[in-house]
Structures are given as C-alpha cells and as structure tokens.
Amino acid sequence: MSEKEHKPLSPEWWRSAVIYQIYPLSFKDTTGNGQGDLKGIIDKLDYLNGTEQSLGVDAIWINPIHPSPKKDHGYDVIDYYDIDLELGDLETFDLLVSEADKRGIKIIMDYVLNHTSSQNPWFLESRSSRDNPKANWYLWRDPKPDGSAPNNWLSVFGGPAWTFDENRGQYYMHSFLSDQPDLDWRNPEVLDEMKNVLRFWLNRGVGGFRADAIEHLFKDRDFRDEPLNPNYNPETDNPYDALIHIYSRNQRIEILEIIKEIDEVLGNEKLNFMVSETWLCAEDLLEYHQASEKKVCMPMNLNTLGLPWRVDKFKDFIDKYDSLLNKDHWPNYIFSNHDVSRIVDRIGESKAKSAAMLQLTLRGTPFIYYGAELGMGGVRIPPESIQDPWEKQVPGLGIDRDVARTPMQWNDDKYAGFSNADPWLPVCDNYPEINVKKELEDPNSILNLYRSLIALRHQSSALTEGDYLPLESGNENVLAYIRESETEKKLIMINFSDDEAEVSFEFTCAGIILSTNSNRNSNAESNLKKIVLEGNEGCIFELQ
C-alpha cells in the first residue's frame, strides 16, 4: 500500500462519504471453495482505498456475514455475535476493521433485525414449548378452528406467511422464507438483545449498520386479514401482490419508535450511523428521517432502482426528494443493489457512464454496488445454477436476484480472478473484457471514470455538501442541475438519450471539469450559450 493522507473521522462523516456495497460471497475467494470470504475483502482493500490506484471509497457495507445456513444467503442468522465459518472468524473480522481503518475505510454491517434463521438457538428454544423463556420472542398464533393459518397474510417470497409447528401446535409468522421466522419486536427482551447486537459490533469498531427489511418489523396487533388487491393479475403478477399489505408491514408509528431507540445506542458523537432498507416514496422517507432526533438514522432511498431512464421521471423524483429534505435530513442515492438487476441490465451499457456521473454528482451519499464501477452486467444464469430462494419459490416472474450477485471480475484469468475453484454462481462471459485489471489500464474505462468522479466529489464542497438547484434544460433528453457551496458552483448536464442534444444556458462557464465522453476537448466548448452533448454524454462545468 502506498501512503495517502487520511483525515481522522469527523462527526457525520457519512455525508461526504462514498459507500461501496460488497456481497461477500461474490467478492474474492481465498479458500478455494468458490465463495468469497473476509480474507478476500482484506486482500482487496487497496483496490478500494489507500493507494493512488484505488477507487477511493470511504466505507464498505457488507451483506450479512454471521453464521447462517444460508437459505437466503446470510439473511437467516444463527448467531449475531459471530462470523460465519465459511467467511472467516472474529479475529479475521477485527483484522478487516483495522486494515480498512488504515486505508480510511469504515465497515458497515448488515443488521438483520426482523427475523432470524429457524436454526437460531433463540427460535429452537422458542419452538420447544409454549412456556419456555423465549416462548414469546417470535410471532406464534393458534390455528383457526378448522386448523388453517391465523390469517391470509403472504410471504414476500411466495406462499403463506405462516408455518405450522407440530411441537407447539401453533403457527409462526415469517415475512420471508419459513426458514426465517419473524421476531416479536413488541417483546422488550427482543429489543434489549438486538440493541446488544449493535453495541457488540460498535465495540469492535464498525462505522454503522444497514438495517434489513425494517418495514416488516411490526404487524397489526389483531392480526387482521389483509384486503385483496383489485388490480392483481394472477397470470402475470407476483403472488405477494395479491393482497394490499396494510397490516403485515409498514406499521409506521412503532417502527419509528425503534429508530429512536437505535439513535440512543448509536450515541451522541455522530460517528456511527444506520441506514434502513425502505421501499418508500419520498414523502414517507421523510418521516423516517424525522424520527431520528440525532440525525444518525436514515432510510435508504431505493426509488431510483425502479425508475425508467427518462429525464422527466428522474427530475420529478430528485426535485421532490431534495426539496422535502432540509439540511438536517441527508439524502442517499442507490442505483444498484443485491436485490434487483444491475443498472447496465436495466438501462443498457451505453448509459452506464452517465448514470455514474448522475449518482456521484447528486446531493446525498452514493452507494455503489460492487462491479457497478466496471459496468458489470449481462449475466445469464442457467436454470440448473439458480441459487436465489425467491426465484426458486416463484419462478418465471423475472425476480432472479442471482444476476446481480455473480463473482467480481478482477482479471481475465479463469473465473475472472475471483477464485481458483468453480464459483457458487457463474462468472459473466464478458469477464475477459470487463475486469478491474483491464479497466485500470484503459484511461477511458468506466472504472477510471468512477475513480475521477469519486476524487472530484471528495475535493469539491459543492458536490459533497452543496445545495442542489434544479434547472429547466429546455431539452427533454437533458437533465441539468447546479450544485453550489459558498465557494463553488458546478453545472451538471446528463444526456439521457442516444442522440446528440443541444442546450443553452446564460451562465458563464469557467471550464469543463469532466465529461463521460473522452473526446470532449476541455478548452473548446465553454460557451454555455450553445452546448451540444453527445448521445449519453454527461458533463460537469465549473461556473463563475
């Protein structure tokens, strides 16, 4: 590692941070079992930060790494106070924290709080009788008189949300797989224990948490049936959409109370934060922001995962989201994650660079999903290789989360340098072209664009903390906005279409800072009265 200066951590460091998401099973295998591990992440830290060649990210959010039967790839935890043996151990984790720290990288843990594994000792005890000490840690209900499930609730992953347990003669509730029973968050012992989990990892030096599936935390006290969705089409729609989920999820008031509890655990120094998985619109996200009195808990903005690549759609959402959140409520932008297809697969390869520029120039913390910086995408998973339990339970609807979880493409060696054994999911065929080694050598690669954008963001007060000022570009294919701080003003234009686009502004330009188009001459076109953007070009201008 060559030395690079790192400032000590400042309160609310996550506001200016760029966060990188690692799916640990797919990042780097060092044991030869075809699955990634913690040692693999340690080996690749220099790629992430600390050297002149690095990507330059400030934190990594790692999907769950606790002991787990991996029915849902770690989102089924057996022991919240340990590391899965296949991934490493606590000693390796401590090494990861300290090695990451040397490079200015904080570790963000996935906090799977809604449910555990059905093999978790808590659940084994809970199911053992109706009167054991953990009998009420989970959601147990008697069958209806005819023996059927207590109500009509559905599992997100298909089928009923209830499974009958012979031993207790009762049903238990699970928002996801039957292997993932939901905890009862109204039980104060559950709350205490889950707060201890946070303290345990904070004491080991983590910088924060990503709270999983938080919308599911509380259920209607009376367990009422949910109404049928009149727009549901059984031929084409996801079976979960057959009901309108007004009782089994998003019991907002109590969820927001838990956020206040977590605020307390995270402390007053604002050195740690939590971001919660919330599939909510801008107005509802605001409530989650407001719940955190210390402003250390925030909801994830997952809206941009579902938007079509159209200026009007993005502009509507960004303008509304940004104007709703005041200076205290810090936004975030997520363009890909482990639950949806990759951005390249959603909007096409030719638009990946301009999407990167958009994400890294908006007001709010960007979360970059591993491989997005390479333009990874285009994977086909043969039916016999499918691993995603959701896809297996409701096949054919195009859920297939595996396509976003394939091995990181490091170089053009066999298995893309990810492993020397056959990986748990196939490597994408395009790895000889799309890989870290090759892209680092190519000045015009998307990887080098990400590196430039991240470096620029870190140097620029306008791009990190500055205001977002929406503009009307006058061209339906161009999204334009200004980011402004006390000392800087930057104009950003993104051409969403494949065609050239002309725009005109009255501002005085002090220079072109960065374009996604390597051919743009940075001196030639600083007259903003007539700017012609290439198809899919994004461009950042300095304004006077």
Shortest separation between residue 163's beta carbon and ligand GLC, angstroms: 16
Q: Phi and psi of 448, rounded to 5°?
A: -70, -30
The verdict on 339 binding ligand GLC (CB under 6 A) reads yes
Q: Is 538 helix (H, G, I), strand (E, B) or coil?
A: strand
Q: Is 440 helix (H, G, I), strand (E, B) or coil?
A: helix
Can you say whether the dihedral through the CA atoms of 86, 89, 92, 93 is positive or negative?
A: positive
Q: For residues 102-131, which are near ligand GLC according to CB under 6 A? A: 112
Shortest separation between residue 57's beta carbon and ligand GLC, angstroms: 20
The binder of ligand GLC chosen from 29, 37, 58, 72 (CB under 6 A): 72
Query: Which lies closer to ligand GLC via its Cβ, residue 219 or residue 451?
Result: 219
The verdict on 179 binding ligand GLC (CB under 6 A) reads no
Instruction: Give the DSSP H or E segment for 321.
Output: helix 311-324
Q: Is 539 helix (H, G, I), strand (E, B) or coil?
A: strand
The verdict on 330 binding ligand GLC (CB under 6 A) reads no
Query: Which lies closer to ligand GLC via its Cβ, residue 84 or residue 212?
Result: 212
Instruction: Give the DSSP H or E segment for 489.
Output: strand 489-495
Shortest separation between residue 47's beta carbon and ligand GLC, angstroms: 24
- Which residues, in sequence order, are bridge partners of residue 493? 480, 539
- Which residues, in sequence order, are bridge partners of residue 495? 478
The verdict on 394 binding ligand GLC (CB under 6 A) reads no
Q: How far apart are CA 255 and CA 184, in angstroms?
A: 12
Query: Which lies closer to ligand GLC via its Cβ, residue 257 or residue 339?
Result: 339
The verdict on 212 binding ligand GLC (CB under 6 A) reads yes
Single-letter residue type at 248: S
Location of structure tokens 């334009």: 480
Left if phi > 0, otherwise alpha if psi is -120 to 50, otherwise beta: which for 136?
A: alpha
Asked whether 511 and 526 are in contact (CB, 8 A), the reply is yes
Shortest separation between residue 190's beta carbon and ligand GLC, angstroms: 17
Shortest separation between residue 210's beta carbon and ligand GLC, angstroms: 9
Q: How far apart are CA 97 and CA 202, in angstroms?
A: 11
Which residue in 179, 212, 400, 439 is the catalytic one? 212
The verdict on 213 binding ligand GLC (CB under 6 A) reads yes
Shortest separation between residue 5's beta carbon and ligand GLC, angstroms: 35
First to last CA, the chain: 38
The verdict on 525 binding ligand GLC (CB under 6 A) reads no
Q: How far apart are CA 370 and CA 436, in angstroms?
A: 11
Q: How far apart are CA 424 and CA 109, in angstroms?
A: 23
The verdict on 176 binding ligand GLC (CB under 6 A) reads yes
The verdict on 388 binding ligand GLC (CB under 6 A) reads no
- Pairing state between β 170-173 and 140-141: antiparallel
Q: State the binding string over 256-295 for ligand GLC (x if CB under 6 A, else -).
A: ---------------------x------------------
Q: Phi and psi of 47, rounded to 5°?
A: -65, -35
Query: Which lies closer to ligand GLC via its Cβ, residue 180 or residue 409?
Result: 180
Sheet containing 509-515: give its strands across. Answer: 467-470, 478-484, 489-495, 538-543, 509-515
Query: Which lies closer to ligand GLC via its Cβ, residue 228 or residue 281?
Result: 281
- Pairing state between β 106-111 and 140-141: unpaired
Shortest separation between residue 295's beta carbon and ligand GLC, angstroms: 24
Asked whether 41 and 96 are in contact (CB, 8 A), the reply is yes
Asked whether 461 and 483 are in contact (CB, 8 A), the reply is no
The binder of ligand GLC chosen from 20, 75, 137, 505 (CB under 6 A): 75
Known catalytic residue: 264? yes
Asked whether 507 and 528 are in contact (CB, 8 A), the reply is yes
Query: Which lies closer to ligand GLC via its Cβ, residue 333 or residue 541?
Result: 333
212 CB burial (10 A radius; 0-12, 13-18, 19+) = buried
Shortest separation between residue 270's beta carbon and ligand GLC, angstroms: 26
Query: Which lies closer to ligand GLC via its Cβ, residue 271 or residue 340?
Result: 340
CA-angle at 305, arms to 301 and 310, nearest 5° = 110
Query: Which lies closer to ligand GLC via its Cβ, residue 176 or residue 431?
Result: 176
Count of residues that bind ligand GLC according to CB under 6 A: 9
Shortest separation between residue 169's beta carbon and ligand GLC, angstroms: 27
Indicate the DSSP class of residue 115: B
Query: Which lies closer to ligand GLC via its Cβ, residue 399 or residue 446?
Result: 399
Which residue in 192, 237, 264, 312 is the catalytic one? 264
Binding footprint of ligand GLC on the chain (CB under 6 A) = 72, 75, 112, 176, 212-213, 277, 338-339
Q: Known catalytic residues?
A: 212, 264
